[in-house]
């Protein structure tokens, strides 16, 4: 029998038990779970945009055997709930994961959500794993396959000078005030402009307030973001890229969003942006071993950019959907 209890992120002992099990469940070679501080800051953030909550699972002996995460967007995709089930390998196959998922679904339904969204990894050379089998056995369908690519450091980067009258600008920390509204507009368009699955995801809601909120959360998580934007000849932001570094992970860096607006494609900006971010982050990259990036398997232009930089396929991440 599995007992599910709500997780209080203020409770040091309970949260510590959760995070130990959470780390143990991420046993894939290339998987990179959130650090103790990163996940806790996310749970403590009372954001008006997205909130996260967790549950803890125990067996009959009171041992922690897994946990679950529920994320709810509040300004967009209001019928959607993101769920994550984490069970360490030694506790799998005993019904704990199913019990965790059932409780997360109860919480999602109580919040008025009708669709569950989850992610599951599988290795190169295969079309599935124990994670994908778990999701599919419980009615989830694979909506999109994302390719996980890794760049080993130090890397020999291609030349990618910006051209055709565009200029690049970069920052760490807060976005310059004069660009914050335009930058929020770029962030809001990623779902619309990047390849997606069949499920009709809405654009994420971004405004200046959310940009500032997310910047504050990065500080609480011990993360640093290097941003590079492209400015068009007429002075508007045409694209951006983000490289993220964690104080708690000295081995890895993470390529987050990269987007070039449709009207500004064909000028090599994707490669220029990403190479410029690597150069601007040279001090943060020093001593690290890998940069990780994810792209839809169908996003041929961005995959070509990544491969030109030296990224190589390390695994797959499926986006899974279950509708009531």
Write down the pTM of the prediction.
Answer: 0.95
Cβ atoms of 222 and 42 closer than 8 Å: no
Local structure of residue 154 (DSSP, 8 states): S
pLDDT of residue 94: 96
Residue 194 has pLDDT above 90, yes or no: no
Query: How much is the average pLDDT of 167-178?
Result: 97
User: Where are the extended beta strands (E) located within the chain?
Assistant: 3-6, 50-58, 64-73, 80-86, 115-122, 141-152, 167-172, 223-231, 237-246, 249-260, 290-296, 312-323
The whole-chain average pLDDT of the chain stands at 97
Nearest to 130 by CA among 174, 97, 81: 97
- Burial of residue 275 (number of CB atoms within 10 Å: 0-12, 13-18, 19+): buried
DSSP string of 203-259, one letter each residue: PPP--HHHHHHHHHHHHHHTEEEEEEEEE-TTS-EEEEEEEEEETTEEEEEEEEEEE
Asked whether residue 242 carries a pLDDT value surpassing 90, the answer given is yes
Answer yes or no: is pLDDT of 237 > 90: yes
Express each pLDDT in 215-230 by its tens digit.
Answer: 999 999 999 999 999 9
Q: Say yes or no to pLDDT of 162 above 90.
A: yes
Q: Which residue has the tokens 């490289």?
A: 243
Q: How many CB atoms lie within 10 A of CB 323?
A: 13
One fold for both 3-113 and 152-316?
yes
d(CA 151, CA 265): 24
Closest to 120 measured CA to CA, from 71, 73, 86, 80: 86
pLDDT of residue 37: 98
The whole-number pLDDT of residue 124 equals 97
- Beta strands 290-296 and 249-260 are parallel
Is the model's pLDDT at 324 over the cut of 90? no
User: Per the structure block, which two tokens stand in for 121?
Assistant: 């990894």
Closest residue by Cα to residue 289 from 314, 257, 318: 314
Fold of 152-316: Aminopeptidase (3.40.630)
Mean pLDDT of 253-281: 97
For the chain, the domains span: 3-113, 152-316
- In the block, residue with structure tokens 């990224």: 311
pLDDT of residue 196: 86
* Average pLDDT of the segment spanning 250-271: 97
Q: Is the pLDDT of residue 195 over 90?
A: no
pLDDT at 287: 97
Instruction: Tell me the mean pLDDT in the region 118-146.
Output: 97
Domain 3-113 belongs to what topology? Answer: Aminopeptidase (3.40.630)
């Amino acid at each position: 029998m599995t007992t599910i209890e709500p997780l209080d992120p203020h409770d040091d002992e309970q949260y510590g038990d959760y995070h130990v099990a959470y780390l143990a469940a991420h046993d894939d070679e290339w998987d990179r779970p959130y650090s103790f501080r990163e996940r806790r800051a996310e749970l403590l953030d009372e954001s008006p945009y997205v909130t996260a909550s967790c549950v803890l699972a125990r067996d009959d002996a009171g041992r922690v055997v897994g946990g679950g995460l529920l994320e709810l967007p509040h300004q967009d995709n209001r019928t959607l709930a993101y769920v994550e089930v984490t069970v360490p390998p030694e506790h799998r196959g005993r019904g704990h994961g199913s019990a965790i998922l059932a409780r997360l679904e109860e919480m999602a339904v109580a919040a008025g959500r009708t669709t569950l969204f989850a992610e599951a990894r599988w290795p190169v050379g295969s079309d599935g794993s124990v994670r994908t089998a778990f999701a599919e056995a419980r009615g989830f369908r694979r909506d999109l396959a994302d390719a996980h690519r890794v760049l080993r450091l130090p890397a020999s980067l291609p030349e990618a000078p910006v051209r055709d009258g565009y200029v690049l600008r970069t920052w760490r920390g807060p976005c310059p005030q004069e660009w914050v509204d335009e930058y929020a507009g770029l962030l809001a368009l990623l779902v619309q402009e990047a390849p997606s699955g069949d499920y009709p995801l809405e654009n994420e809601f971004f405004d200046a307030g959310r940009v500032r909120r997310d910047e504050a959360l990065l500080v609480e998580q011990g993360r640093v973001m290097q941003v590079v934007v492209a400015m068009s000849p007429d002075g508007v932001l045409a694209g951006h890229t983000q490289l993220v570094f964690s104080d708690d992970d000295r081995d890895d860096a993470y390529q987050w969003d990269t987007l070039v607006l449709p009207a500004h494609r064909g000028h090599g900006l994707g490669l220029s942006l990403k190479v410029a971010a690597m150069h601007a982050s040279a001090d943060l990259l020093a001593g690290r071993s890998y940069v990780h990036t994810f792209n839809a398997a169908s996003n041929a232009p961005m995959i070509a950019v990544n491969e030109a930089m030296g990224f190589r396929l390390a695994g797959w991440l499926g986006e899974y959907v279950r509708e009531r």
